[in-house]
Amino acid sequence: MYKVLIVDDEKMIRMGMRKAIPWNTFGIEDVLVAKSAEEAIDIIREHKPEIMITDIKMGAMSGLDLIDSAKKFVPQIRVLVLTGYDKFEYARQCIRLKVHDFFLKPIDEKVLIDAVKRQVAFLEENQIDKLTDINENRANAVTEQMNIEKFMRDLIHNRTCQQDKQISDFCEKYTFRADQQMQVAIIVPMLCIDSGSADKHFIALSIKNICIGMVDAQNRGLTFMDDYGRIVIAYFLNRQKGSIMEWIQELNGILRDEYSEKLKVAVGNPVAGLKLLCMSYNDAVQLLQCEREEYSEIIQTENAQKSDHLFREVFADINNSMCANIGDSEKILYIFDQFCRATDSYNLSDSYIRRCCLELVTTTYYTFVCNSCMEADPWISSFMNSIMDVNGEELFEMTRQFLLKMTGEKEEQNAHAIIDKSKRYIKEHLSDDLSVSNIASFLYLTPNYFSRLFKKVTGEGCNEYIVRKRIDKAKLLLETTNFPTGRIAIMVGYRDTNYFSLAIKKSTGKSPRNYREELQKKALSGNQQQK
SS3 annotation, 430-485: CCCCCCHHHHHHHCCCCHHHHHHHHHHHHCCCHHHHHHHHHHHHHHHHHHHCCCCH
The pLDDT score that the predictor gives to residue 91 is 61
Cα gap 528→16, rounded to integer Å: 40
The pLDDT score that the predictor gives to residue 406 is 58
Distances in Å between the Cα of 500 and the Cα atoms of 18, 219, 467, 491, 503 are 41, 26, 10, 11, 5
How many CB atoms neighbour CB 26 within 10 A? 15
Strand partners, 4: 31, 51
Query: Residue 459: which region, alpha, beta or left (left: phi > 0; alpha: psi -120 to 50)?
Result: left
pLDDT tens by residue, 83-95: 776 665 566 666 6
| pLDDT tens-place values along the chain, 531 residues long | 789 999 988 888 888 888 888 888 888 888 999 988 889 999 998 899 999 998 887 777 888 888 888 888 888 888 888 877 666 556 666 666 678 777 777 778 888 888 888 888 888 887 766 666 655 665 566 788 888 889 999 999 988 767 788 888 888 888 888 888 889 999 886 554 444 566 777 777 888 888 888 888 888 899 998 988 889 999 988 766 667 777 888 888 888 788 766 678 888 888 888 889 999 999 888 888 776 554 567 777 666 666 556 778 888 889 998 888 776 677 888 888 888 888 877 767 788 888 889 899 888 888 877 754 456 666 667 778 788 877 778 888 888 878 876 533 333 345 677 888 899 999 999 988 898 988 988 877 768 768 877 887 888 999 999 999 999 999 999 888 888 888 888 898 888 888 889 988 888 888 888 888 888 787 666 665 655
Residue ranges of the chain that CATH labels 3.40.50.2300: 2-107
CATH number assigned to the domain with residue range 2-107, chosen from the 4 options 3.40.228.10, 3.40.250.10, 3.40.50.2300, 3.40.50.2030: 3.40.50.2300
Name the percent of the chain lying above pLDDT 70: 82
Cα gap 100→116, rounded to integer Å: 10
3-state DSSP call for residue 263? Answer: coil
What is the layout of strands, in order, in the sheet containing 28-34?
A: 28-34, 2-7, 51-54, 78-83, 101-104
Cα gap 462→453, rounded to integer Å: 9
Which residues are within 8 A (CB) of 160 and not within 5 positions of it... i.e. 6 or more apart?
154, 166, 167
pLDDT tens by residue, 247-275: 888 888 888 788 766 678 888 888 888 88
The pLDDT score that the predictor gives to residue 17 is 86
CATH number assigned to the domain with residue range 145-300, chosen from the 4 options 3.30.70.270, 3.30.420.40, 3.40.309.10, 3.20.20.70: 3.30.70.270
3-state DSSP call for residue 332? Answer: helix
Output the CATH code of domain 415-530: 1.10.10.60
| Contact yes or no for 333/400 (Cβ under 8 A) | yes
Residue 336, Cβ density class (10 Å: 0-12 exposed, 13-18 middle, ≥19 buried): buried
The pLDDT score that the predictor gives to residue 465 is 93
The pLDDT score that the predictor gives to residue 68 is 85
Cα gap 516→478, rounded to integer Å: 6
| Contact yes or no for 441/217 (Cβ under 8 A) | no
